[in-house]
Structure 1
């Protein structure tokens, strides 16, 4: 599969991986599920990947968005040249991160 990274965002959740992982699995629809990673592929170009790893503060959550349609010009045009895409992704990620923190009763922060 050809893919190109569009954006990446990360955050830290003040809870262990064992508590964060099941919450993430419930929140994110997945088409592929690994040990501590999951992916969702939707539409004709989008692939989102999430992973959790241990962090000195608890758990590090990383979200990456890939273009899996290759260098097809229509991907950029269909997404308005990705203007504002990174900021919207970061904002949505921050909201999801805060929701996980609320659900687990712990602090979160963007990395």
Structure 2
């Protein structure tokens, strides 16, 4: 799966565990309730997944999203413009985890920044949320994690 849309922000972190172990946690997605053992990055959102095996609909309180899962990717797309992607890659210390937020609006793309206040605070909010997820991954896998400088 290739990335779509315009990149708005990116954050990176390292999980000191093999890619296969991290993938087993983050890329485990199946129909049913979202939780620690299913669609881990969205466990706090709640909701239920339907579909599969590589494309799902996540019906959560107040919204729905499309969730895609691949060999090294978990992506969630919802609303008019939002797409969040998590990618895994080997790193000398274990696994590099990259989170990107993209604008995938197909129409009125120019209006997305206006509606979102020119994305004031998007980078820091994304970084803070990613840091929380990274800590959860480290706790779940019993390993160290480190947040890297964002782009």
State how 1:16-35 maps to structure 2 within 5 Å. Answer: 16-25=18-27, 26-28=39-41, 31-35=67-71
- Normalised by the size of structure 1, how large is the TM-score? 0.91
Match of 1:62 among 89, 98, 119: 98
- 2: distance between equivalents of 1:24 and 1:90? 18
Counterpart residue number, 1:97: 134
CA gap of 1:2–1:20, structure 2 versus 1, over 3 A, is closer
Per the TM alignment, residue 72 of structure 1 is displaced from its structure 2 partner at its CA by 2.5
Unaligned regions of 5+ residues in structure 1, if any? none
- 2: distance between equivalents of 1:33 and 1:99? 20
- Normalised by the size of structure 2, how large is the TM-score? 0.68
Unaligned regions of 5+ residues in structure 2, if any? 28-38, 43-65
Counterpart residue number, 2:12: 10
Task: Report if the CA contact (8 A) 1:2-1:69 is conserved.
Answer: no
Aligned residues: 111
Post-superposition CA distance 1:14-61 (Å, at most 9, x none)? 101111112112313562111111211110100111110111101000
Matched, 1:85 2:85: no
User: Higher relative contact order at CA 8 Å, sep ≥6: structure 1 or structure 2?
Assistant: 1
Per the TM alignment, residue 2 of structure 1 is displaced from its structure 2 partner at its CA by 6.0
Select the structure that is richer in helix: 1
Deviates more, 1:68-77 or 1:52-61: 68-77
